[in-house]
Structure 1
Amino acid sequence: MIVPTGTGAAIGGFAGDALPVARALSNVVDCLITHPNVLNAAMLYWPMPNALYVEGYALDRFAEGLWALQPVHQNRVGIVLDAGIEDDLRIRQLQVADAARASLGLPVVEYIVTDTPLQVEKWVDPKTGQSTGRIKHPDSLLRAVQTLVNRSKVNAIAVVGRFPDDDTDDVDDYRQGMGIDVLAGVEAVISHLVVKEFQIPCAHAPAMSPLPLSLSLSPKSAAEEIGYTFLPCVLAGLSKAPRYLTNNSESMEKGCILATDVDSIILPRDACGGDGTLAFSRSKKSKPLIITVDENETVLNDTPDKLGLEALQVSNYWEAIGVIAAHKAGINPFSLRRNKIRNIGCISSMPVNGHLISG
């Protein structure tokens, strides 16, 4: 299940509002592979034993057949805190970590503060309409991760970067359940950097000053405003995130999940241009069923017809889940619809008076 990050998705573009779809899908499929943008809901999360929490860069490498996913019982999670976080905000993050250890039993082992403030910058790409950004000191982040990996033997990383505080006017649309998440794009940039360099699970939680109380808040955005941090869902997700192994004979022996094991993909209809989706569509061994959802509109315009992809178009996630259930049962989904099954065709040829005719 894919909902691209920072694209203003109608479902999945806010504070974990695609999580109900993931919960429903997890009860239909044997294994649900998705990414933090779908499963993270700031202070909220939902444990799904058969769901795999896979960072976006890793998801693309998995789809390309380069990496395999190894399910685990637990990861040793380390936290990187931006040196730019003020004392009170840093204490809030550490209280979340201790609460996750004591109340949930999560294996969050140690934290480190970067040697230089990361200086996060965010903006909206004027060409695509997606949110994006950068950190001015990526080397400081990588040094901190390296230290945790070497000294604390962690195999998953939570990053907490100090994001610039917004004027209320700048986030009003998002708080009302409209527009795009201006934080999400650069969050993906940060996690991509760590996963590409270290090949371990990573997710990001922004540190920000709380916004003033709003009396007209959209339920889709509310999960981000009921606490002081965005870290709880990240720690829960990383604690059991699958590890990323290079796809070779060793990963086969370890019972890893491969791209060829994927039976179907579900994503917004106008967001089919990502590396992962394109890789799955080009698969020659076992091409999965690609299901696109009309109702989940984004700011993108990468539809299957424009990209030459073969996909099954549905109106909403209700229909998509029905298609998934039929596909899993080995049933042609169109046999569940009125007048969608035509008389069987014929492509064989029979000789008549020395000539071939086709039926």
Structure 2
Amino acid sequence: MQIVEKEIKIPYSRDAAGLIGHFKKEVESKVPSGEIPIRFVVTESTRGGFKCEIGTLACEGDQDWTQVSSIFDFKKRPFENTREFNVVLLVPTGIGAEIGGHAGDAGPLARLMASVCDNLITHPNVVNASDINELPDNGLYVEGSLITRLLMGEISLKKVRSNRVLLVMEKHPCGPYFEDKSINAFNAARATLGMEGTQIIRLDEALDMRALWSNAGRAVGRIDHFDRLAAVIDREEGKFDALALATRIQVPMEFHTEYYNEEIDMVNPWGGVEAMLTHTVSTLYNIPSAHAPMMTDQSTMNLDLGVVDPRKSAEIISEAFLHCVLKGLHRSPQVITDPLLINHPDFISASNVSALVIPDGCMGLPTLAALSQEIPVIVVKGNKNQARVKLEPFFSKARHFYTVENYFEAAGLLMSLRAGVSVESLQRPLKKSLVVSSLDPAMVSSQSNGSGR
């Protein structure tokens, strides 16, 4: 079983409200039978069409995943539950975001956003920093594809006190030295976090994970032999609540030095293929999952990279890269798929989401779903990245679409939304109210009683 990322072109549409259906129809017509779409993103928009990337799982043998719900399935939320103010914070993986595109360097951002909401729903890319994970106390660590399905109205999240965490690690070809790093990290999490570790399973026949680049400049990849991991998950069903993964990712040797060279502006090459793997696991099995790369060999371990960009420093001081994953999965919320329970008041569903904060240029299913659910979307222009889609021309007329320059403004806007303060009321000049005739709504009565009130 193979997971790959493909580039496709979809005809242009100006119907912002109907884009999810438009993309679903076009993708289904372009993806061969026997392949399951795992993730989808628009990388560029022109009058000639949308350039898109679609990650797919090719099914082989006896394994049949064709009954898995489509990533494009959408259910309109029946109401907005205002009991809590819950914010989704996304910094998509593999786009080289200036904030959040490296090694947990959006951790301070997560703490800021968490300070203005009841629950912050975010994904591993935001807070994972090898041996460091500064997820706020009111933060929920949720795999990216699950956040998409949450916003699409397909699932809800159930808070937990703790999870039984299963670690599946690769049998390392260089011997036990690198395996011991992962085992020690797992035991350290049990001893210091109080994490319940069910067991460690060594994957004797490994996955083949390779980091690649798309033509749009995004970090993607290819994964072969996913069936080997699927067999383990199937066998251990019911014995664990969250899945930690530790495997090697093949990249050219020069990437290990070029990525840390400040004169070379390189997107993190490992994150894209990691997202492809965890998207697949969480989509098929409805479980929390996260991945940590294993050091590939001793020569990579021995590289002297000196003092690097602070945003990447967390990776330099680690050898296992695993603790951030274990800390996040320790209390990652469980996934509720039963349609009769999704909108239960004790769970977090699309009805409970109060806002989405996302970098500019990111036109994917989370953005489209939030706007379709009439969830406020706050686009941060200052977090530059590789995405090339200008969102304002599509959504500027949407009632709940906002653009800000930086995350400080985003935090202020969230506070305004939480307090029920109209954004317009704090802007100057403050427009006068429009008065219209009840007999002819098109007639502005200011002609007879002044220019407005």
Q: Could you state the TM-score of these two structures normalised by the residue count of structure 1? A: 0.91
Structure 1 window deviating more from structure 2 (101-110 vs 141-150): it is: 141-150
Corresponding position of 1:315: 405
What are the residue-to-residue correspondences of 1:1-359 with 2, within 5 Å?
1-84=89-172, 86=174, 87-126=176-215, 128-150=216-238, 153-164=239-250, 166-168=252-254, 171-174=257-260, 176=262, 178-208=265-295, 209-210=300-301, 212-253=303-344, 255-271=346-362, 273-283=363-373, 287-308=374-395, 310=398, 311-337=401-427, 339-342=428-431, 344-349=432-437, 357-359=444-446
| Greater helix proportion | 1
Counterparts in 2 of 1:146 and 1:171: CA distance versus 1, 3 Å: farther
> Does the aligned pair in 1 maintain the 2:379–2:403 contact within 8 Å?
yes
**CA offset at residue 154 of structure 1?**
0.2
Counterparts in 2 of 1:207 and 1:296: CA distance versus 1, 3 Å: same
Aligned-partner SS, 1:320: helix
CA offsets 1:18-66 (integer angstroms, 9 cap, x no match): 1100011111111111111112111111242211111111111111101
Counterparts in 2 of 1:156 and 1:281: CA distance versus 1, 3 Å: same
Task: Give the distance between the partners of 1:321 and 1:217, measured in 2 at CA.
Answer: 30
> Does the aligned pair in 1 maintain the 2:289–2:329 contact within 8 Å?
yes
Task: Give the distance between the partners of 1:107 and 1:225, measured in 2 at CA.
Answer: 28
CA offsets 1:182-218 (integer angstroms, 9 cap, x no match): 0000000110111112110000000014261222400
Counterparts in 2 of 1:67 and 1:175: CA distance versus 1, 3 Å: farther
Task: Give the distance between the partners of 1:357 and 1:187, measured in 2 at CA.
Answer: 57
Counterparts in 2 of 1:332 and 1:175: CA distance versus 1, 3 Å: farther
Unaligned runs of 5+ in 2: 1-88, 447-453
Counterparts in 2 of 1:110 and 1:312: CA distance versus 1, 3 Å: same
Task: Give the distance between the partners of 1:169 and 1:53, measured in 2 at CA.
Answer: 29
Aligned-partner SS, 1:157: strand
Counterparts in 2 of 1:66 and 1:171: CA distance versus 1, 3 Å: farther
Counterparts in 2 of 1:175 and 1:90: CA distance versus 1, 3 Å: farther
> Does the aligned pair in 2 maintain the 1:191–1:203 contact within 8 Å?
yes
> Does the aligned pair in 2 maintain the 1:174–1:181 contact within 8 Å?
no
How many pairs align?
A: 348
Identity percentage of aligned residues: 32
Counterparts in 2 of 1:236 and 1:340: CA distance versus 1, 3 Å: farther
> Does the aligned pair in 2 maintain the 1:85–1:161 contact within 8 Å?
no
**CA offset at residue 335 of structure 1?**
3.9
Aligned-partner SS, 2:430: coil
**CA offset at residue 293 of structure 1?**
0.6
Aligned-partner SS, 2:191: helix
Aligned-partner SS, 1:120: strand
Aligned-partner SS, 1:112: strand
CA offsets 1:2-25 (integer angstroms, 9 cap, x no match): 111011011110000111000111
> Does the aligned pair in 2 maintain the 1:156–1:201 contact within 8 Å?
yes
Task: Give the distance between the partners of 1:108 and 1:85, measured in 2 at CA.
Answer: 25
Aligned-partner SS, 1:345: coil
Unaligned runs of 5+ in 1: none
Task: Give the distance between the partners of 2:418 and 2:104, measured in 1 at CA.
Answer: 26
Structure with the larger RCO, 1 or 2 (CA within 8 Å, 6+ apart): 1
Aligned-partner SS, 1:109: strand
Task: Give the distance between the partners of 1:307 and 1:350, measured in 2 at CA.
Answer: 32
Aligned-partner SS, 1:5: coil
Counterparts in 2 of 1:140 and 1:356: CA distance versus 1, 3 Å: closer
Task: Give the distance between the partners of 2:439 and 2:124, measured in 1 at CA.
Answer: 59
Counterparts in 2 of 1:107 and 1:340: CA distance versus 1, 3 Å: farther
Q: Which residue identity is paired with 1:221?
A: K
Task: Give the distance between the partners of 1:211 and 1:315, measured in 2 at CA.
Answer: 41
Corresponding position of 2:8: none
CA offsets 1:77-116 (integer angstroms, 9 cap, x no match): 0011123453211110000001111122111221112241
CA offsets 1:133-171 (integer angstroms, 9 cap, x no match): 122110001112223334xx1010001111225424554
Q: Could you state the TM-score of these two structures normalised by the residue count of structure 2? A: 0.73
Task: Give the distance between the partners of 1:195 and 1:169, measured in 2 at CA.
Answer: 29
Aligned-partner SS, 2:267: coil
> Does the aligned pair in 2 maintain the 1:119–1:137 contact within 8 Å?
yes
Task: Give the distance between the partners of 1:60 and 1:169, measured in 2 at CA.
Answer: 30
Aligned-partner SS, 2:211: strand
Task: Give the distance between the partners of 2:139 and 2:318, measured in 1 at CA.
Answer: 25
> Does the aligned pair in 2 maintain the 1:85–1:162 contact within 8 Å?
no
